[in-house]
């Protein structure tokens, strides 16, 4: 169930026949690039994550856009492949961009196994990695496919705030917070807004609880592209951003994908869920935003905060 992500339907014919992607293809090299971020070493950052004025951004988005950051290293690897092998060989490199079944190819290549949350898990990297592929006409010795190692664990199913993981290996993207805060362009269904909490771009909950993460080490390559100022941004400050400030603040990051109206929509929901009386003036200002999407969610947030205040004072 992929919601409104119609691009997932594209190139279905090519996905079933790799020869149509690269004529003469013999092998696929699957790559994993870790974006693991170490746990906070001080209590103050942990406190910020649970603060009513702070938002949470998915780990991968706290870096420069991985498509841009990893383009050069992937090109360098392809060039090295050419130098070491037949100069007449052909190849194509993809980083979450090609008409191929990346996750399935990665499992067949032994890079990892698909967890019950439908994401790929690597025994050394845990859940925190991007995958890329090099399609080549070279004939290479294949690795053994990885077998599933979830066992009886169901932590990811239990952790999902919206019950989007309906059963092992079955995800309803329409309820997934990553879909709601990134892919969905319109209004977030009211019934799902409370479960979003203070997440303003993506959600890591199902990834975070996976036991295989205990072996994951910090990603050395992606560390160079990390945006530390995106750890726990102030929600009220974010709500005051105009178009130019939004673009300059998130330049080069995946967050630009949501555009200002989508991102501030998310900020309004987060403030509605966790904000205090201090957030109301900023939300009232957002109610007058020329973007109806922002105004609608700001109005909802104000009512939710007021309802929470009323409940607290009556107890």
Paired sense of beta strands 56-57 and 199-201, if any: parallel
Burial 233-259 (b: 16+ CB within 10 A, else e): bebbebbebeeeebeebbeebbbeebb
Q: Which of 139, 141, 23, 136 is nearest to 80 (CA)?
A: 136
229 is catalytic: no
* Residue 123 near residue 151 (C-beta atoms within 8 A): no
DSSP state at residue 214: G
Annotated catalytic residue, options 68, 76, 86, 96: 96
What does the alpha-carbon distance between residue 177 and residue 204 come to, in Å, rounded to a whole number?
9
* Residue 275 near residue 269 (C-beta atoms within 8 A): no
What does the alpha-carbon distance between residue 227 and residue 190 come to, in Å, rounded to a whole number?
31
| Active-site amino acid positions | 96
């Amino acid at each position: 169930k992929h919601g409104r992500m119609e691009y997932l339907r594209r190139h279905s014919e090519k996905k079933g026949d790799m020869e149509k992607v690269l004529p003469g293809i013999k092998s696929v090299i699957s790559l994993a690039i870790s974006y693991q971020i170490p746990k906070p070493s001080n209590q103050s950052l942990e406190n910020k994550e649970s603060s009513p004025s702070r938002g949470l951004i998915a780990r991968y988005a706290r870096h420069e856009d991985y498509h841009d950051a990893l383009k050069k290293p992937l090109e360098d690897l392809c060039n090295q492949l050419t130098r070491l092998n037949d100069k007449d060989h052909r190849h194509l490199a993809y980083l979450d961009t090609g008409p191929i079944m990346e996750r399935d190819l990665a499992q067949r290549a032994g890079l990892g196994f698909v967890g019950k949350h439908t994401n790929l898990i690597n025994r050394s990297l845990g859940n925190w990695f991007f995958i890329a592929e090099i399609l080549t006409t070279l004939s290479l010795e294949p690795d053994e496919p990885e077998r599933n190692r979830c066992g009886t664990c169901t932590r990811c199913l239990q952790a999902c705030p919206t019950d989007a993981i309906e059963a092992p290996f079955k995800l309803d993207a329409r309820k997934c917070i990553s879909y709601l805060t990134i892919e969905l362009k319109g209004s977030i269904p009211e019934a799902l807004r409370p479960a979003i909490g203070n997440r303003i771009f993506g959600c890591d909950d199902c990834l975070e609880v996976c036991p295989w993460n205990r072996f994951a080490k910090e990603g050395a390559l992606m560390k160079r592209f990390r945006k530390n100022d995106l750890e726990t941004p102030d929600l009220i400050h974010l709500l005051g951003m105009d178009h130019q400030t939004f673009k300059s603040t998130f330049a080069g990051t995946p967050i630009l994908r949501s555009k200002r109206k989508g991102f501030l929509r998310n900020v309004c929901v987060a403030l509605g869920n966790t904000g205090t009386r201090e957030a109301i003036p900023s939300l009232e200002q957002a109610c007058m935003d020329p973007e109806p999407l922002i105004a609608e969610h700001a109005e909802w947030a104000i009512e939710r905060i007021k309802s929470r205040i009323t409940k607290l004072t009556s107890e």
